[in-house]
Amino acid sequence: SVCAGGAPSLSYQQLKDLKKTHVLHIDVRERWEIDRFGKIPESINIPLGELVEALQMDPTEFKEQYNQKMPSKSDPVVFSCLAGTRSKQALGFATSLGFS
């Protein structure tokens, strides 16, 4: 399941529908997990340990590092992980940095 702001849990189908509305999907699993279990289409991988730093990067640096436009604090963002624990932590980090 996937963790999102107003909805603690989303199905994969709900996530696919959300992606049609240009939501940024950040997968906070470790890189080895992506290699082993596969990448979710159209997501960007920012391991949880890098997330706070990544969300405070200069937008140019973010684009170079993650090959994606950096989200603004008001852009819709969805976090995912394997079981939901790290995505909830990621949501907490993003909220504490001023993301709505």
CA torsion angle 73 75 81 86 (round to 10): 20
Q: What share of the chain is helix, strand, coil (3-state, %, to 5)?
A: 40, 15, 45
Q: Nearest to residue 85, comparing CAs of 26, 8, 6? A: 8
Q: From the candidates 81, 90, 91, 94, give the one annotated as an active-site residue.
A: 81
Q: For 8, which DSSP code?
A: S
The SS3 assignment for 25 reads strand
Indicate if 3 belongs to the active site. no
The SS3 assignment for 37 reads helix
Active site residues per annotation: 81
